[in-house]
Structure 1
């Protein structure tokens, strides 16, 4: 990231210092080349797609989730393709687990540059008055408290090692509107948006960018579980999407990779919709 003041002109070109005028130095370099990346919920779905993509783009990745078999499979796949990857077991509802997982990234790679807080849990769809208290508490622990814990640990690790860096939180397009089928889930994700914006303002002066993505309907195990409880859910989501299809996990991962990369060096505090136009 270029920290030169944008008001200081380049005396040779008359353009603001730090303005990219020649991209030839980027040829042959991955979007995340040289970066150490930490990814939660990385055993399947969007998190696994992100781990594969980040590694292809040159990052050394640490995958975190609760299910070792899934983590091991994705890690071995990345290594077989020539990437650098490892994994750590982590329950996002456990503060000690979260801090230890972030510390593991620094132990492995000597630094932390970027993090994708993707891990989340679900509960059955239904109106607000039918959400069980235990389910609400579990959503809070994993989907809101978990990203908060992770961000705090990641910011400390970035500060202590790379100095500057970027964090992306995985939110949901359902956080941007009324969400009668998933009211508690939507509420937690909307709170994640607020944490994202607050962190961006707080840590921007240090060169730490914080953004979120808000995926629309995406073909993951989570949405298939919701579909089982609420038949026709995917069809309804697709009908309200101008592209008339659901996203693949890889498409969501691409947005996260860009926000974490230096190509997005002037983007912070945004919640980027990746929803096929559903909220247009």
Structure 2
């Protein structure tokens, strides 16, 4: 059998370009510091040899040298791809992918995490968190104990959506749901609606709390501003409940539930 071709190394590149291995390393790392002077023709010669040989740096070696893998981890507490969650995760995943591409990073979706009591868990016997330089956490509800451990271990992460304290500040990026829903409820009252209903999911997530507080703050001018819990599976009964109450506008927290309610309302005329 023919042995597999030997991997091209930086030493090979240096020999073929007629430069030192240190020069190859500087070119590969795109060093342009004031104290690093490489003649343009030398840089071009090194780049040409790299292109001709198809050389790619060993990612493990680069991590040892720089301390970074250029890998961003993405952890979802709910499955990222089934239809029930797709509408929630899809725009976030698109944005993460676009930015990672722009800054030259790869994404690592942690799909090996075990499901315990119906929820994925970051920390387990074979967790691969340290393969990534940092992690983005997605989920309607995120486990406080795991946030506490991430803080304690000093692992870089950011949560999508506001999170309560977990033994220290939780870094997050999120929408101002309270202000947005507050304004929507105010607008409904301005348009003449007097019986408003907030259709929630019955969760304790911070984002849900913010939406509910915004709803009640913005609906102070209404005769009735109540809150109920519903799912897509209970859409028919929920429409009947809204009609019996005399509600003329519903604020629906979950997208899939909103679609099901509209379908049920049309079916009922």
Give the TM-score, by structure 1 length: 0.22
Specify the structure having the higher radius of gyration (Cα): 2
Structure of higher RCO (CA pairs closer than 8 Å, 6+ residues apart): 1
Give the TM-score, by structure 2 length: 0.23
